[in-house]
Amino acid sequence: MRSWSAVLLAALCFATTGTAQALADVDASPLAVGLARVALGGGLLALWALRARPAPADRRTTGALGRMPSWALVAVGAGGVMAYQPTFFAGTSANGVAVGTVVALGTAPVATGLADALLRRRAPSRRWTVSTALAIVGLVLVSGVLDAGAGLGGAGVLWSVAAGASYAGYAVTGKELLDRGWGSGVVMGAMFGAAAAVALPVLALTGPDWLLGTRGLLLVVWLGVVTTTVAYLLFGWGLARLPATTVATLTLAEPLCAAVLGVLVLDERLDALASLGLVVIAGALVVLTAPVGAPRAVRV
């Protein structure tokens, strides 16, 4: 399997989240569902890490993150995993789903690129810059923000930017641990397992009665197993072989896949701008994943 294929498969798993929630139609807040997802998926990833067992090599790396102890990197990554849920939902609650999603998902690859450049001394490539810019344009078109003409609330934007930064936090710290010689399953298990340890008691305080019903239980099993455990094992496998910046941009395939699932499964309709946005996102991913040909020899 190619590295980028693993990340795109992870994005497809992520994309089923909204469709699964719509089909389940459970009486629970998005935050409670997110906590349950992290609790189950993080626990399973932690068990996977324990099964893998190899001791991390902890090789010396360069940059500001290279001076941090590994336990601190795990803590920062787990904090990013936990922070993403409430900040994302706070942003969509304040400015609407379309605007909140655009700002959060659009911020994530940009924040990852900046963090990677500043903390790990790895400047993004020109190809990544072009592809990311195209993908964000496509994301704006798919979201319907231009048609809605919605105003932006400052607090909501800040929450959404914080969600994108939270994603960057666990992407960049995870990549740092991988570069130290940690296995991808161990990295994901350590970060998400630590996040699950926090999510579980918080979930208990939110009143998890909805989990006792068949629909609620099936929803959490799908979200915990497919959109977290399987998805992040694929994500980690790709992250071990690709720059964090590339992985962040590849996961923008999530809204593309989510839109297609909405049409096929939920009988949703896409207008001309949204359809154009899907094409633009697909084009951006092609730009990012197209092989670079070897330079041709010049005949004299």
Predicted confidence at residue 281, as pLDDT, reads 86
What is the reported pLDDT for 55?
A: 57
CB contact set of 4 (below 8 Å; sequence gap of 6+): 238, 242, 246, 250, 288, 289
Look at residue 153 in the predicted model and tell me its pLDDT: 62
Q: 219, 237, 216: which is closest to 227 by C-alpha?
A: 219
pLDDT computed for residue 39 by the predictor:
94
- Identify the pLDDT of residue 298: 40
Contacts of 55 (CB under 8 A, 6+ apart): none
Identify the pLDDT of residue 264. Answer: 85
Give the C-alpha separation, 131 to 123, whole Å: 15
Secondary structure class of 269 (helix, strand, coil): coil
Query: What's the CA gap between 137 and 121, in Å, rounded?
Result: 27
Q: Are the beta carbons of 37 and 220 closer than 8 angstroms?
A: yes
From first to last of the 300 residues of the chain, give the pLDDT tens digit: 688 899 999 999 988 888 888 888 888 888 888 899 999 999 999 999 988 766 566 666 666 777 888 899 999 999 999 998 888 888 777 766 666 777 788 888 888 888 888 877 777 788 888 888 888 888 888 777 666 555 556 677 788 889 889 999 999 999 999 988 899 999 999 999 999 999 999 998 887 788 888 999 999 999 999 999 999 999 999 999 998 888 988 988 888 888 888 888 878 777 888 788 888 888 888 888 877 554 444 443
Domain boundaries, the chain: 3-288
- Tell me what pLDDT residue 297 has: 41
Tell me how many degrees the CA angle 285-4-76 measures, rounded to the nearest 5. Answer: 100
Q: What pLDDT shows up at residue 60?
A: 67
d(CA 286, CA 281): 9
pLDDT of residue 249: 87
DSSP readout, 89-147?
A: HHHHHHH-HHHHHHHHHHHHHHHHHHHHHHHH--PPPHHHHHHHHHHHHHHHHHHTHHH
Q: Which residues contact 27 (CB under 8 A, 6 or more apart)?
A: 210
Q: Which residues contact 208 (CB under 8 A, 6 or more apart)?
A: 32, 36
Per the listing, tokens 């626990």 go with: 43
Angle between helices 253-265 and 3-24 (to 10 degrees): 40
Q: Write the DSSP assignment of 18-37 as a string of letters.
A: HHHHHHH--SS-HHHHHHHH
Residue with tokens 């161990």: 186
Q: What is the predicted pLDDT for the residue at 56?
A: 64
Give the long-range contacts of residues 265-273, CB within 8 A, separation 24 or more. Answer: 265/19, 265/23, 266/19, 266/22, 266/23, 271/144, 271/147, 273/141, 273/144, 273/146, 273/147
Q: Which helix (H) or strand (E) holds 184?
A: helix 184-205
- Give me the pLDDT at residue 79, please: 94
